[in-house]
Amino acid sequence: MAIHPIEYRYGTEEMRKVWETDNKLQKMLEVEAALAEAEAQMDMIPKEAAVEIKSKANIEFVTSKRVSEIEAETNHDIASIVKALAEVCENDAGEYVHFGATSNDIIDTSQSLLFKESIKILKDRLTLLTKTLLGLASENKENVCIGRTHGQHALPTTYGMKFAIWADELHRQLNRLDECNERLCVGMMTGAVGTTAALGTDGLAVHKKVSEILGLKPVIISNQIVQRDAHAEFIMDLANIASTLEKMALEIRNLQRTEINEVGESFDPRKQVGSSTMPHKMNPITAERICGISRVIRAYVAPALQNNPLWHERDLTNSSCERIILPESCMLTDYIIKLSLKLFNNLIFKQDNIEKNLNLSHGLIMAERVMAELTRKGVGRQTAYALVRESSMDAYELDSGLKEIISSNREITKFLSPSEIEEIMDPHTYIGSSIQMVDNVLAESRKWF
């Protein structure tokens, strides 16, 4: 019976297949095969033995069931794989399995193969999401809305700006994955304390050859393990991605609030239910799930960092921890990227409410523009600020529009005509360089993919 929600509720099939038991076992068998092949090339083991080991180093012959049976007796995962592989090899080829290696040579190198597969899935899905946001940025670059700071109405902005900012940030996240991939996905075949002593004078050559066979970069130096700073970096990158996705989802949740109701996630009223007791509810459940799961992903940063300082050349405290945080962080991050694709590919825009909220303050959001125009007319900036601030406070107190207040202020109308005030108070024409900025992101994005 399933217990963990990843088993039945969260996660994607693509990422689940990467971290499932059979694929993990297959990757470890591939490392054992690469080791035998490299050693045969160095005349350290018979070539026919390496051929036999490679032919049997797959889950068709070495099953998870058999490995589990052996592990129940040995209480050692890698020793169980070695024995299971050795016993299916014909003649005496099994005698040469795992020669010169230690357990973590197999674990860490095979994990690099899992990381490569995981990063590819993450990048492919993040790329799709980035392209979705770029499309929304292009479509909405002239869709003027109210910008908010401290939760208060500030100045006009555009929805195109929101989406372009997020797309640009996701591009940086993609770059971080690429940079991390270079440091994380490395091969290691250096033995019990990293000296390659068991492999003799050709130890470094075997170490490099194994990585070459597997398409990995050989780690330049290690002790019994690949150092965990790169693993911590990877988890931090996933947490960073999660924080970006939460930021995006949180904005949609806020914009879907009844009091704002400008943008929201799609809702099928014929099938979907928002509440078991309140028939009217249409909740932002996709965005809320993104925000909730991102907290779990970020929580894995602390144990990932704690896995780096180990006793001497290595202890076992990182191992049990990584069995949990590595697959879960990959699966959950991939899952909320997929949720984000669903969210942003099905956004609902409420244009009437966007316009209503833009004008909700009765022109107070144009106070900065009035001040700036007065300054351009020759009024000192500090004086202009004081004039407009006084008018703004009067507008608050009298519950009146700012345009009416400044139009009756002789200190202001000495410098601004009625037609100028009319133009100044139009929020749709006070979006600065926002269209050009969005266009700049769109132009730059042609180099991204």
Active-site residue set: 150, 275
The span from the CA of 297 to the CA of 265, in Å, is: 23
Q: How far is CA 218 from the centre of its chain?
A: 26
The residues that bridge with 157 in the sheet, in sequence order, are 145
Helix or strand (DSSP H, E) at 126: helix 103-139
- Residue 238 tokens read as 């996933």
* Beta strand residue intervals within 182-234, DSSP E: 186-187, 217-218
Count Cβ atoms below 10 Å from residue 237 Cβ, excluding itself: 21
- For the stretch 108-121, what's the b/e string if a residue is b when 16 or more beta carbons lie within 10 angstroms of its beta carbon? bbbbbbbbbbbbeb
Instruction: Report the SS3 class of residue 362.
Output: coil
Task: Compute the C-alpha angle 77/83/89, nearest 5°.
Answer: 140
* Beta strand residue intervals within 231-386, DSSP E: 263-265, 347-349
List the one residue out of 430, 262, 429 whose CA is nearest residue 354: 262
Assess contact for 153 and 361: CB atoms under 8 A: yes
Contacts of 449 (CB under 8 A, 6+ apart): 127, 131
Contacts of 68 (CB under 8 A, 6+ apart): 80
The span from the CA of 415 to the CA of 373, in Å, is: 9
Cα torsion 309, 311, 316, 319 to 10°: value is 10
The span from the CA of 432 to the CA of 445, in Å, is: 22
Kindly give the pairing relationship between strand 152-158 and strand 144-149. Answer: antiparallel
Assess contact for 142 and 432: CB atoms under 8 A: no
- Residue 66 tokens read as 């058999």
Alpha carbons within 13 angstroms on the beta-carbon side of residue 241 total 33
Q: What are phi and psi of 144, to 5 degrees?
A: -75, 135
DSSP labels, 170-181: HHHHHHHHHHHH
